[in-house]
Structure 1
Amino acid sequence: MTDRRVVFVVFDDFQPLDLTGPHEVFHSAGEYACDVVAPRAGPVRSASGLLVHAGHGVADLDPGGTGTLVVVGGQGVDRAREDADLVAWIAAAAAGARRVASVCSGVFLLAAAGVLDGRRVTTHWAREKQLAREHPEVRVDCDPIFVRDGRVWTSAGVTAGMDLALALVEDDLGRDVAHEVARRLVLFLRRPGGQSQFSVALWSRQPATDPVRAAVTAIHADPGARHDIAGLAAHAGLSPRHLQRRFTAEMGAPPAAYVERVRVEAAQRALTDGDEPVEAIARRCGFATAETLRRTFHRRLGVAPSDYRARFRSTAEPLEPPALRGPLPESAEEGRTA
């Protein structure tokens, strides 16, 4: 079935996880036929040396009949976007595909093919400035793990491709199937819809010095603690003014904004992981009142805490194993995710 045909585009020095991660998600869902296309059919060497067999070259594969086109990224993308035949094939395939997606720096190939004009996109944080500079026709937003703009989906770096693939499965087959795929692969289920689904610890800058690292560690150890500038300065062994300046320079955000972001993430986890009342979550995560939590969620995520819980927490019973490819773990708990 054309709608369930996924075609991955690879090239020399691609990032292997950009391919293998999403490919495994689609395979586990059991409803998809996956193909790999490259500039030439045959073995393609990834950036880490892993060889992948491309069943098709662009010269021998009709660009029509693709349900989902997924363009991977990797350090070879800059050479790949100079390949006129590859870019032309991507443009033709994208024109007829039901939807188009990129993982990581694969967004540069979609941009070169003219697929992204006027759209909001994301990519790996290290490529954000380059993408904005070289393609002013696109709107770059490197905060989310993935972005959907109409039929075009783009994701952040490397493992974010699995979050994107889960969202695509959910878009096709529903929340229950996507949740069961995530459970089987021991992944977090990332939902579409423009929500800010990211981990502060993973996606923010990392502290460069021990004093700022001490302050950041204290914030993550107990998001609900007071964490005013005086307290954080005490953890860092610096004056409040000195910490404010160094923290902002190293982390890309002032301490108060960073604390709020960590608290929001802690509240997101609490809302999706259990049945604790919103008022209790607000107090435990440092928001003092449910109303403060509600206002912060609306400002940052565009949704109320109760609605966030209703949308993003899966309460579905696990599907029967035949719904997926391959056996589930003997103990259902072995494969359960948060």
Structure 2
Amino acid sequence: MSKRLAAPRRIVFVATDLAEELDLFGSVSAFRAANRSPALNSPAYSIEIVSGTRTAAIAGNCGITLLSNGSCFDLRGAIDTLIVVSGEHAHQPHSKELLAWLAEHGPKARRLVSICTGAFVLAQAGLLDGRRVTTHWSRAAMLAERFPAADVSANELWVRDGPVYTSAGVTAGIDLTLALIEDDIGAAAALEVARGLVVFLRRPGGQAQFSVTLAAQQAQTPAIRTLQAWLPEHLAEDLNVQRLADRAAMSARHFARVFRRELGDTPAAYVQRLRLEQARWMLEDGSWSIERIAALCGFSDAQLMRRALKRTLGVSPGQYRSLHHASPA
């Protein structure tokens, strides 16, 4: 069931010039989709897009010029959620006027959010000091080096530290927005939005920016590539080398040799990493018992999964869930 808010919550997006359009539009689209939920009698959000300059125009990174609702400097009244969006040039110095405005108004908002490289803008305003944060993986080291007062996590989709939320790149901003929607008006509404946008509901903040299949190099042999796509949907099954070789139409010995040459791992180790990744996601989600997770991920019992998780991450399934299960705001 969706929660009903007494009044629409004011969401303000501040976009710098050369902002990444998808970072902005993905999150805006999710909030607007939430407003269309049939479970709500009235919109949950009042959404404004403003520039970080004195004009209403925002030059996008992909060449689109957006005529926004105005300038951030003309805003009046309380802001519930202030979201900062920038682009590939976010690490460059921003105007003192914008940074001063953010330093004044950011702490007054109930939630302060950055999407992708927007973290650099918040950091320049001094708003990430002492906070645990994230950004796009390719810029995380730079953020950590330039702003040592921030505790930068390089491999999480999004991070919450008190009222400050930061996300990784592009579609991770949608994951974070879905989490905000769920906190505001409930899981059912967030699920409806996710289905409308054809995205997952919802990848937890602690999930890695790269999945096993994205991090691994893609095989050159078509049969191995096809197998890579097939494996994540069949983790609960017996995935011994002979069965995988049969699917690839190879002998077991030749299959194992080709697999390791092209993916840099043995079939067994690759499957184990997929199973652990799926188990981590399910533990983070919090909807399944540890025994059920072990069965669905292809571990013969919960104790085997426990040993694998402990060996890989140094924690038990229960400890991992306690550390990473998303809790309401």
TM-score by length of 1: 0.71
Identify if the C-alpha distance between structure 1 residues 176 and 201 changes in structure 2 by more than 3 Å, giving closer, same or farther: same
Unaligned runs of 5+ in 2: 1-5, 36-43, 242-252
The answer as to whether partners of 1:41 and 1:55 remain within 8 angstroms in 2 is no
Identity within the alignment, %: 39
- Name which of 290, 294, 301 aligns with 1:289: 301
Identify if the C-alpha distance between structure 1 residues 60 and 177 changes in structure 2 by more than 3 Å, giving closer, same or farther: same
Identify if the C-alpha distance between structure 1 residues 247 and 130 changes in structure 2 by more than 3 Å, giving closer, same or farther: farther
The answer as to whether partners of 1:226 and 1:286 remain within 8 angstroms in 2 is no
Q: Is the partner of 2:149 in helix, strand or coil?
A: coil
Mapping of 1:251-330 within 5 angstroms?
259-267=271-279, 282=294, 285-294=297-306, 296=308, 299=313, 304=318
Superposed CA deviations along residues 22-57 of structure 1, whole A, max 9, x for unmatched, are 111111222111112211332212111122122222
Distance in 1 (alpha carbons) for counterparts of 2:34 and 2:159 = 22
Identify if the C-alpha distance between structure 1 residues 271 and 77 changes in structure 2 by more than 3 Å, giving closer, same or farther: closer
Structure 1 residue 153, shift from structure 2 partner: 0.6
**Alignment partner, residue 36 of structure 1:** 49
Structure 1 residue 300, shift from structure 2 partner: 7.8
**Alignment partner, residue 166 of structure 1:** 178
Distance in 2 (alpha carbons) for counterparts of 1:122 and 1:237 = 33
Distance in 2 (alpha carbons) for counterparts of 1:156 and 1:74 = 12
**Alignment partner, residue 326 of structure 1:** none
Q: Is the partner of 1:6 in helix, strand or coil?
A: strand
Letter in 1 for 2:61: A
The answer as to whether partners of 1:21 and 1:159 remain within 8 angstroms in 2 is yes
- Name which of 207, 210, 234 aligns with 2:257: 234
Structure 1 residue 148, shift from structure 2 partner: 0.7
Distance in 1 (alpha carbons) for counterparts of 2:25 and 2:268 = 39
Distance in 1 (alpha carbons) for counterparts of 2:112 and 2:315 = 25
Q: CA RMSD in A?
A: 3.9
**Alignment partner, residue 45 of structure 1:** 59
- Name which of 97, 106, 128 aligns with 1:116: 128
- Name which of 65, 68, 93 aligns with 2:81: 68
Superposed CA deviations along residues 210-255 of structure 1, whole A, max 9, x for unmatched, are 59x998875664365357xx998613464xxxx9xx949xxxxx99
Superposed CA deviations along residues 64-102 of structure 1, whole A, max 9, x for unmatched, are 5111011113123234x4211111111112121111011
- Name which of 141, 154, 158 aligns with 1:129: 141
Q: Is the partner of 2:74 in helix, strand or coil?
A: coil
The answer as to whether partners of 2:58 and 2:67 remain within 8 angstroms in 1 is yes
**Alignment partner, residue 12 of structure 2:** 7
Distance in 2 (alpha carbons) for counterparts of 1:287 and 1:181 = 33
**Alignment partner, residue 186 of structure 1:** 198
Distance in 1 (alpha carbons) for counterparts of 2:187 and 2:272 = 29
Structure 1 residue 18, shift from structure 2 partner: 0.9
- Name which of 205, 211, 219 aligns with 1:200: 211
Q: Is the partner of 2:159 in helix, strand or coil?
A: strand
**Alignment partner, residue 316 of structure 1:** none
**Alignment partner, residue 20 of structure 1:** 25
Which stretch of structure 1 is more off in the superposition, 264-273 or 19-28? 264-273
How many pairs were matched up? 290
Distance in 1 (alpha carbons) for counterparts of 2:145 and 2:226 = 34
Distance in 2 (alpha carbons) for counterparts of 1:76 and 1:187 = 28
Identify if the C-alpha distance between structure 1 residues 21 and 132 changes in structure 2 by more than 3 Å, giving closer, same or farther: same
Distance in 2 (alpha carbons) for counterparts of 1:68 and 1:222 = 40
**Alignment partner, residue 155 of structure 2:** 143
Q: Is the partner of 2:11 in helix, strand or coil?
A: strand
Structure 1 residue 265, shift from structure 2 partner: 3.2
Unaligned runs of 5+ in 1: 249-253, 313-338
Mapping of 1:88-103 within 5 angstroms?
88-103=100-115
**Alignment partner, residue 249 of structure 2:** none
- Name which of 216, 222, 232 aligns with 2:231: 222
The answer as to whether partners of 1:190 and 1:197 remain within 8 angstroms in 2 is no
The answer as to whether partners of 2:83 and 2:114 remain within 8 angstroms in 1 is yes
Letter in 2 for 1:37: V
**Alignment partner, residue 247 of structure 2:** none
Structure 1 residue 303, shift from structure 2 partner: 5.2
The answer to whether residue 91 in structure 2 is matched with residue 106 in structure 1 is no
Identify if the C-alpha distance between structure 1 residues 266 and 40 changes in structure 2 by more than 3 Å, giving closer, same or farther: same
Structure 1 residue 165, shift from structure 2 partner: 0.5
